[in-house]
Chain A
Amino acid sequence: MSKNTLERSVLKSSLLSEEYTLFSHPSGLKIYVFPKNLTTTYAIMGVRYGSLNNRFSLLGSDEMLTVPDGIAHFLEHKLFTNEDGSDSFERFAQYGADANAYTSFNKTAYLFSCTDDCADALGELIDFVTHPYFTDSSVASEVGIIAEEIKMYDDSPSDRCFYGMLEGMYEHHSIRRNICGSVDSISQITKETLYDCYNAFYNLGNMALIVCGDVDPDDILAIANAHLPKSAPEFTTLADNENKNESDKVFIPYVEQEMQVAKPIFNIGFKDISIPEDPTERLKKDAAMAILDEMIFSRAGKLYNDLFERDVISPHFSYGYSINKSVAYNSVAGEADDPRLVLEEILHYIERLSSEGLSEEDFLRGKRVMYSEFVKSFDSTDNIANNLLAFFCEDGELLSYAEIIESVTFDDVRALFKESFSPDRITLSVVKPLKNL
C-alpha cells in the first residue's frame, strides 16, 4: 500500500519561461497541471499500457497470460461505454468538450480539449476511465467497427511499409505486431480478457492525469480529489520478458509488399540495440540522435540534396529516431523509383562521413534546429500535454529537455555515429506498385 499523502512539486524552466505543478496524489495518480495562457484547455488521462504489453500476470498470480493482439486498442474503444448505457463521447459533447483517445505501442491516452469551463469534462474523464463496463454484446458490436479500422490501415501503403520495417527488424519483439491487431485476433477478445487487461494495467499508480491550459493547479486538484479514491490499492503487474530475446541483428533485411501505389515507397530501419536504463541518459541519447539525424538526413544537407537533384528520391522524405524503455530504432522514409539505390547511397554517404569525419558546423546547425523545434512545441496545449504524457511513460521530465539538448556535445554525437548504422542492423521495407496497375 502506498502512502496516503499528497506531494506537490513545481518544475520550472527560465529558458522557456514555463512551469508546471506535479502532484503525487494519494490515489497513486500523478497529476500534471501546466498553466498556459492559451484559449484551449487540453486534458489527458494516460496509462502506461499499449500494444507492447500483451503478456503479463495478474496480481497474486505467477501465471503469464497472453492476450490477443490489438486488445489495448480494443479496450480504449470500449471504455467510452458506461454502465448506464450512456456513451462518454456524448457527455463530453454536452460539456462542449471535444473528446478522443489513442493507443500507441507503450501507452493509451484518453483526452479532451475545451475552450469553456472544463470542470465537468475533467470529472467525466476521470470517471469513465476509472469505471470500466464491458458486456458480451457491447464487445461483439465493437468487433465490426474495429475490423473496418483495421482494413482502413491495411489499405494504407505508408502504414504497411512502416510495419514491414518493424517486422523485418524484430523477430520476437511485440512491436512487430499491429497496434490494432488483426480481424482474426480481435474476434478472440471477450469481456473477461478486457477486464484482465484493465485490472493488470489501469491502476492509478500506472497512470497520469495531465491538464494544460488557462487553469489553476489547486482548482484542478480539487476536481481530481472529488473523483479519485483517497488511497492507492496494491498494484503489481509482472512484465513479460519476451522482448529481451531479441537478436542484435535484424530478422529480415529486405521486406517487400505490393499494393496500390503510384510509385514505390520505402522505410529504412536502423535497429538500435543500446538502450540506456537511466531515463536521463535515454533522453540524452534521444536528443543526440535527433541532432545526428539532422546532420545526416536534413533538407539542408548534402545527402538529401544530392539524391533529390539526381531524382533518386522525391521530396517526400522524412526521418526520425524513436526510443523507449524497450525498443529503439532510427528510420528514414520516402518515395523512390529504386529504394535499394537509396539505401546504397545512404550507406556510401555514411561511409564517406566515417572516413572524412562529421562537420562541426552541421552539428551546430542540427542543435539549433532541435532547440527551435522544442521551444515551438510549447505553443500548443495539445503538444505540451502529449509530451508530458510521453515523458511520464519514460520517467523523464519535460522541461529539462532543453538543457539536455544544450548538453549534447560534438563528441557525444561523433561517438553515437560510430555505433549506429551498422549494416547488419538495417531493414529496407518497400511497398511496390501492383504489377498490373
Chain B
Amino acid sequence: MFFCKDTVRDGIELSVIECNKFKAGVIAFSLTLPLSRAAVAHGLILSGLLRRGTLNYPSMAALNRRLDELYGSYIEVKSVHLGANMSLVLTAEVLDNKYIPDGTDALGGVIDVIADILLHPLLSSESFDKRLLDQEIRIALDNLGAEINNTRVYSVRRCSELMRGETSRYPTVSELKELVASTTYEDVLALREKTLSTPLEVFYIGSTPSDKIADKLRATFASHPFGLAYAPNSVSPLRRESFAEAREKMPVSQSKLAMGFSSGVCISKDDDGYYAALMLNELFGGSASSKLFVNVRERMSLCYYCASSFSIYTGVMTVSSGIEADKLDVVKGAILEQLEEIKKGNISDSEFSAARKSILHGYRQLYDSPFDLQAFYSGRMAFGIDDTVESCTDKLMQVTKDDVIALANKITLDALFFIEGELGGGADEEDENE
C-alpha cells in the first residue's frame, strides 16, 4: 500500500492509498467548519437535501438510477462531528474499472455525480420545492424519535449525554429535535454556502493512480474556488465534576445499564497516554476474554452481554449491559469489582498478552477495509496527527501493565443511566409462571 497526500490546487487536498487488492474503491469528499449546536441540526437537514437531486439528475430516483448505471455505485452524504468541528462528508463505493465488462468509467462518473451534488443541488435552484425541506425535517425528527426502538443504543446515548453535561457544544437529542424542527430554508442555504467556502479534502483508496484522480478533480471542480483556511480542531477528554445518574422506566423485558467512566486521556498530537486506555478497555470489557465477559457473563451468568468500549475522541469508557431490573446493584457491583481487580494489578500475563494481541488484530484488520482505512486516517488528520497504522501498533506495544494499572487508578465513574424494564421478571420468575 502506498500512501500519498498532495495539493491538487489551492483549496483541494488529495490523499491517496494506492492499492490493487480491492475490487471496489472508496472515495470520500469532506468540507469542514467549526461545530455549533445549530449547525448540528442544519447539517442533518443539508445532508438529506443534497441527496434529493441535482440539476443534471433532478430527482432522487434519477440520481439513484445514475448510480445504478455506474455499476451499483453508492453515495452517502452525512454530517460528521469530530472535536470542535463538523464535516460534510460524501463517501462513495465504486467498483474498480477492471471488473466492469462494458468499459464504463464508474469512478469518473461518480466524481461527476458528487460534484453535481456539491455544486448544483436542487436545493440551490430557484425552482427548489420547499416541501422537500419539510419532508427532510420530518425524516430527521422520525429518526431521532426512533431511537427508543433500540434500548441499548438509547441507554448508551443517554449516558454519554450525562457525561457531556449541559455545557457541551453538542446538543442533547431533545435539544436537537427542537433545533431540527425550527430549521429554515435560509439556515440550510447559509450552512451550504459556508461549507463550500472551506477547503475540499478528498481521500481515495483503490487502484487508480493519484495523478489521474488529481487531473479529474482539477477538471471537475475548475469553476469553484474552495476556501483556503482550515478550521483549527482540538479535543479534550470529558470529565465531570460530580457523578450524574438518571433512570427511566420503559415497557421492555430487559433492563439496560450504561456506565460512563472518565479516563482523562484522549487522542492527542502530544500525548500518547490514550494507548494505555485502549489496553485498559480491552482487558476490562473489550473482548470475549475480558474480565467483564469472563466473570460477569460466564462465571456469574448475570447477562448475555456486558462489554466496554472506549472513545479516543472523548476519553470515555462506556460499559453497557442488558440485565434483570432487580439485579442492578449486583451487576453494578460486579462491574466495579472487575475494575478494582485491574486497579490492584490483578492482570495475568496471559490476559495482558491476549488484550494486546486483540487490539493489534483490530489495527491490522484496517488494511482490509477501504472504509475503515479512510475513517482511521481522516480521524487523525482532522487533528493534525500523522500516525499510521504501523506507528499506532508500535505505540501500543510500548504500553506496560504498570501504565494500565496507573491509568485504572485515575479512572472515575462519572455517569450511570438505567432503563428499568417494566415487562421484566427474572428467568426464574417466568419459569414459576409457566
State the A residues within 8 Å of B (CB): 16, 37-40, 87, 89-90, 92-100, 113-116, 141-149, 151-152, 154-158, 183-184, 187, 259-263, 265, 298-302, 304-305, 308-309, 311, 314-315, 335, 365, 368-369, 371-373, 375-376, 378-381, 434, 437
Q: List which B318-369 residues lie within 8 A (CB) of chain A.
A: 322-324, 350, 353-354, 357-358, 360-361, 364-365, 367-369
Closest to B52 in A: A309
Tell me whether B402 is interfacial, beta carbon within 8 Å. no
- The residue from B146, B254, B305 contacting A261, defined by CB atoms under 8 A apart: B146
- A144, B148: Cα distance in complex, Å: 25
For B361, give its contact among A115, A373, A380 (CB under 8 Å). Answer: A115
Whether A90 pairs with B354 at a CB distance below 8 angstroms is yes
- A302-B61 CB under 8 A given contacts A89-B289, A261-B149, A314-B139: yes
CB pair B149 A262 closer than 8 Å? yes
Whether B145 contacts A115 by the Cβ 8 Å rule is no
Contact with A along B293-307 (1 / 0, CB 8 A): 110011001111100
Q: How far is the CB of A103 from chain B (nearest CB, A)?
A: 14
A436 to chain B, nearest CB (A): 9
**A113 and B322: CB pair below 8 A?**
no
Contacts of B65 in A (CB 8 A): 300, 365
| Interchain CA distance A147-B294 in the complex, whole Å | 18
Instruction: Evaluate contact between B288 and A114: CB separation under 8 angstroms.
Output: no
Contacts of B381 in A (CB 8 A): none
Asked if A152 and B322 make an inter-chain contact with CB atoms under 8 angstroms apart, the answer reads: yes
> Which of A93, A146, A156, A158 lies in contact with B357, CB distance below 8 A?
A93
Flag if B289 contacts A90 (CB, 8 Å).
yes
B69, B251, B357, B430: the one within 8 Å of A116 (CB): B357
Find B60's partner among A37, A94, A299, A311 (CB 8 Å cutoff). A299
Give bound CA distance, A92 to B350, whole Å: 12
Q: Give the residues in chain A near B67, CB-CB below 8 Å.
A: 300
Contact for A381 among B24, B302, B368, CB less than 8 A: B368
Tell me which residues across on chain A come within 8 A of B93, comparing CB atoms.
Answer: 376
Are B61 and A301 touching (Cβ within 8 A)?
yes
How far apart are the CA atoms of A144 and B370 in the complex, in Å?
40
Residues in B whose Cβ lies below 8 Å from that of A376: 23-24, 72, 93, 95
List the A side residues contacting B298 at CB < 8 Å.
87, 145
Cβ B151 vs Cβ A369 within 8 A: no
Name the one of A187, A260, A378 contacting B23, with C-beta atoms under 8 angstroms.
Answer: A378
Q: Which chain A positions have C-beta within 8 A of B37?
A: none
Partner of B358, one of A38, A98, A156, A311: A98
| B361 and A368 contact, CB distance less than 8 A | no
| A39 CB contact (under 8 Å) in B151, B287, B289, B368 | B368
Distance of A100 Cα from B289 Cα, bound (Å): 12
Contacting residue for B142 out of A146, A148, A299, A314, CB 8 A: A314
Which residues of A sit under 8 angstroms from B150, Cβ to Cβ? 156
The A-contacting residues of B in range 60-86, CB under 8 angstroms, are: 60-61, 64-65, 67-69, 71-72
A372 x B142 contact (CB < 8 A):
no
Q: A39-B364, A146-B304, A151-B322 are in contact. Are A260 and B149 (CB under 8 A)?
A: yes
Enumerate chain A residues within 8 angstroms of B297, measured Cβ to Cβ.
145
CA distance A43 to B288 in the complex (A): 18
Q: Taking the nearest CB of chain B, how far is it from the CB of A20, in angstroms?
A: 16
Q: Is A263 in contact with B367, judged by CB distance below 8 angstroms?
A: no
9 example contacts (A-B, Cβ-Cβ < 8 A) are as follows: A148-B323, A148-B324, A154-B253, A155-B253, A260-B148, A262-B142, A298-B68, A300-B65, A368-B68
Residues on the A chain within 8 Å of B251, using CB: 259-260, 434, 437
CA distance A337 to B350 in the complex (A): 54
* In contact, A311 and B360 (Cβ under 8 angstroms): no
Contact call B431/A187, Cβ cutoff below 8 A: yes
Q: Nearest chain-B residue to A381 (Cβ)?
A: B368
B142-A39 in contact (CB<8A): no
Q: A315 to B49, alpha carbons, bound, how many Å?
A: 13
In the complex the two chains form, is B253's CB within 8 Å of A99's CB?
no
**A113 adjacent to B68 (CB under 8 Å):** no
Assess whether B99 is in contact with A375, with CB atoms less than 8 Å apart.
Answer: yes
Quick check: A39 and B365 within 8 Å, CB to CB?
yes
Contact residues in B for A40 (Cβ distance below 8 Å): 364-365, 368
Nearest chain B CB to A274 CB, angstrom units = 28
